[in-house]
Amino acid sequence: MGFLISNEYILIPLFGLAVFIFSYLMSDRIIHFLHDKSLGSREEVLRLMDLMFVETDQRKVTIGMLLISFGLGSLVFLATWPNIVVGLIFGSVVTALGWTLPKFIVTSMWEKRCTRFTDQMVDGLTIMSNGVKAGLSITQSMERVCSNMSGPIVQEFNLVLNKQRLGMPLEQALSELGDRIPRQDLQMFVTGVNILKETGGNLAETFTTIVTVIRERQKIEKKISAMTPQGVMQAVIITLVPFILLGVFLVVDPSYVEPLFTKPLGWFALFLMLSLQVIGGVIMKKVVTIKV
């Protein structure tokens, strides 16, 4: 076994054969995975931007994602020339990251918007509760929210009111609002309104209860966010240490790490290191992510 590991002329062909067999057996899943990470990622980006009321052009988004992925990947490949294998490895990594980066950024923006909407529900439902107590209807109370507040809650409530003015039942418009912003607090609001409109009940008291639940949830989330930064920082440091050490060795003694970029066994070690780094980063992200 030690002879096989130390002999790169045997190890590399065996590794290539294993990759070929694995790719052949998993070809359907691999093609589906690549499609999901490329064109599927573009469709998700367009969908999220539409949910955030951002006007988009599918052609421009496609060109931008191609430049970020294949464009940067090609530049990395040319920068490492004539080391073709190294260029293919790092170029492929950059290309894959280029496909996922726009989706990650847009998803992060959408999550922040949903969180901001939930935070605004405290003031919005308080205004609606006071309006209902004063004898106003639900739609009139929502109009008061739109005239006194700003941000995503105004955009969403205006869309609900416009659909209701065009003839769509309020229950359906609110249900579509719940589909656009999948948050438990909003689901409570939508479900409560739809049920009480049919069965009758104290809407003002329901809104006050939802506001109390949201405030208690925010308290718990703030406690969690105060306790998890240490784990997040540890994950970031552990992930960056190998790259920092590699940079230090390149500056201090390049010959010490030169085999990593010039030998087939070194290329295999780099590929293995990057794979383990990605797996470790994903696992640590799941560990420090706590959902309330």
| 161-200 residue pLDDT tens | 999 888 888 888 888 888 888 888 888 888 888 888 777 7
| pLDDT over 60 at 225, yes or no | yes
Question: Is 153 exposed, middle or buried (CB count within 10 Å of its CB: 0-12, 13-18, 19+)?
Answer: buried
The one-letter code for the residue type at 245 is L
| pLDDT over 70 at 30, yes or no | no
CA distance 44 to 56: 12
pLDDT tens column, 242-274: 888 887 887 787 787 777 777 777 778 877 888
Please give the structure tokens belonging to residue 203. Answer: 């809407």
DSSP letter at 81 equals: T
Lowest mean pLDDT among 19-23, 100-104, 126-130, 148-152: 19-23
Q: Are 97 and 130 in contact (CB under 8 A)?
A: no
Please give the structure tokens belonging to residue 8. Answer: 């790169």
Task: Please name which of 85, 90, 86 lies closest in space to residue 73, comparing C-alpha atoms.
Answer: 90
pLDDT at 49 (0 to 100): 85
Conformation bin of residue 99: beta by default, left when phi > 0, alpha when psi is -120 to 50: alpha
- What proportion of the chain, given as a percentage, has pLDDT over 70? 84
CA distance 181 to 63: 28
Domain ranges of the chain: 128-225, 228-292
CA distance 194 to 182: 17
Lowest mean pLDDT among 98-102, 209-213, 229-233, 249-253: 229-233
